[in-house]
A and B are shown apart, each in its own frame.
Chain A
């Protein structure tokens, strides 16, 4: 499952991610990370069985953990199947099918929203 870890500025300098992984012996497969002086945000994949432990570990150290269970939605009425989204997606969610229509593998979506900005037809959105 995909999770989002938010780290606030008061603990941003601490190695809480590494500590949590070592403590729980859980591997986080990090697909996106953003850090600056004000906050940190990490998108990672974790085995469902390990989720509870890693969430407890991270939250005890001051991070906030959210489950990302609303992947990208494509409005087929708006979509013209140009394929603009294909090259910008870090998760390789989109591809062309045999008829040059858009095929999508939603399981791979990390909900980064990069494709939303790319789509010329406002056909992509993240469910709230």
Chain B
């Protein structure tokens, strides 16, 4: 049994004879020497990751203005910061979007601009009190003007992440990037072999108070992150670091098209090799880190798992989805992750960075629960019109016109001889038929590619589909494509009007 103490390792760091390797290098060392010899040889293994971590932000203290003010609403370059605490503290979150620039600029950009020393416009309003009489404030300041700018990230460093693909027939834009239709591509995130938590999955050394690399400077682990789920190997961390010492090389604002903003965070953790077990766990490879490929085309919390995949396969450039070779994109930077592990290695080797024992272990038994919902989500079947009239595809457009006039619907689902949905006609299609020659039958003028809905779809999904495709109604069909109702944007508007 090899046993080393933190004190022993720190003494070697101090004396300059510590042996530090990156988690990538450790794979080969354990492969060659075995865990026992590797544990004797190696003192510290460094890890690193650089990817989108939306649950990130910074606590800012602006100093008190004259006359003083209890800031009630705070905007930094038009991005709202949370100020429901004492007078001049505010939390700027990476994902908050600008009130004026929308998707193009958000909290993440404010954070990057602060790091770069740029001037930020601060606008604040309040209601005024005896102790804080001021009601509005406008000023311009930069990071050096602030008392504190402390990064506190509630959820960073996911042990691994779900892999995204899209089974829908259109491109979808997600926080995992653009996902091409019909499983056209695959996106993934995470550093695999270098992933901090995958290198110490039992939380032997990573815990409360562990010193880390964060954004180019030294930071600390505060505790487990939100949604920490070690039992499913989706552990997370809550981190702290001083933004004033950070570098834009390792903290970068990001925009995901039609999703919003996020922050790329560079983070690395040194793992002291106290025993053989740690030597073994830091020898984890890309192949050992296994995750799930999910269909993000399914707009549900419970997205279907298409297959299991490991990071070696993901990093090969393509993986097989439904028998087809599908290209992969990494959303996190392996090159940067490597740079971080190397940088941390340099710090420890140079005697500038020491390791310690956690002041408290992180929970190794926990899972992430879904939300308890006390109001029932309305479904399409709750509000769809059931007395829907359909027309045969072989009817003439005159008959269709008559039917639309006699009924209240402006959309007429068209059925084929077997009674199944074949298309849809609207009053507009009929006008077109009148204007053009050669179109006498409904089947000639109907739209064949019909957007449909299922009775058990949540209303929010139906509403988004109507919105995206810019149509005003959809036939509701059963599994055999028989029309059982129709749902219109009008029905949905009425429902939401009632709710308010």
Contact = CB atoms under 8 A, between A and B. Distances in A.
Chain A: interface size category: 20 to 34
B257 A118 contact: yes
B333 A117 contact: no
A117 B253 CA distance: 15
B173 A87 contact: no
Interface in B308-334: 317, 326-334
A80 B50 CA distance: 9
Nearest to B175: A120
A33 interface: no
A88 B255 CA distance: 16
Nearest to B332: A82
Given A84-B330, A87-B329, A120 B254 contact: yes
B52 interface: yes
B177 A80 contact: no
Contact of A88 (B51, B185, B252, B335): B185
Nearest to A122: B255
B281 interface: no
B496 to A, nearest CB: 30
A85 interface: yes
Interface string A75-114: 0000011111111100000011001110000000000001
Given A81-B333, A88-B177, A100-B335, 20 more contacts: A80-B264, A80-B333, A80-B336, A82-B329, A83-B329, A83-B333, A84-B177, A84-B329, A84-B330, A86-B327, A87-B185, A87-B186, A87-B329, A95-B317, A96-B317, A117-B257, A118-B329, A120-B177, A120-B254, A120-B256
Interface string B367-399: 000000000000000000000000000000000
A83 B330 contact: yes
Interface in B413-444: none
Interface residues of B, number: 31
B262 interface: yes
A87 B50 CA distance: 19
Contacts of A88: 177-178, 180, 185, 329
A61 interface: no
B180 to A, nearest CB: 6
Interface of A: 80-88, 95-96, 99-101, 114, 117-118, 120-122
Contact of B252 (A80, A85, A95): A80
A61 to B, nearest CB: 24
A120 B51 CA distance: 11
A63 B338 CA distance: 51
B349 interface: no
Contacts, number: 73
B187 interface: yes
A116 B285 CA distance: 32
A114 B178 contact: yes
22 contacts: A80-B50, A80-B264, A80-B333, A82-B332, A83-B334, A84-B177, A84-B331, A85-B329, A86-B317, A86-B327, A86-B328, A86-B330, A87-B328, A88-B178, A88-B185, A88-B329, A100-B334, A100-B338, A101-B335, A118-B257, A120-B262, A121-B253
A121 B326 CA distance: 24
Contact of B336 (A81, A85, A86, A95): A81
Interface of B: 50-52, 173, 177-178, 180, 185-187, 252-257, 262, 264, 317, 326-336, 338
Given A81-B333, A117-B257, A87 B252 contact: no
A122 B336 CA distance: 18
A82 B331 contact: yes
A99 B329 CA distance: 16
A80 B255 CA distance: 13
Contact of A117 (B173, B264, B326, B327): B173
A101 B326 CA distance: 21
A86 B264 CA distance: 18
Given A82-B51, A83-B330, A99 B335 contact: yes
Contacts of A96: 317
Contacts of A114: 178
Report, nearest first, the 5 A-B pairs whose CB atoms are least far apart: A87-B329, A87-B185, A120-B254, A87-B327, A83-B330
Contacts of A84: 177, 187, 329-331
Contacts of B264: 80, 120-121
Contacts of B254: 120-121
A87 B178 CA distance: 9
Contacts of B51: 82
A86 B329 contact: yes
A118 B178 CA distance: 6
A115 to B, nearest CB: 9
A86 B326 CA distance: 12
A106 B218 CA distance: 39
A118 B336 contact: no
Contact of A82 (B178, B327, B330, B338): B330
B106 to A, nearest CB: 12
A114 B254 CA distance: 17
A80 B185 CA distance: 20
A3 to B, nearest CB: 24
Contacts of B177: 84, 88, 118, 120
B187 to A, nearest CB: 7
A95 B328 CA distance: 11
Given A82-B330, A118-B177, A87 B187 contact: yes
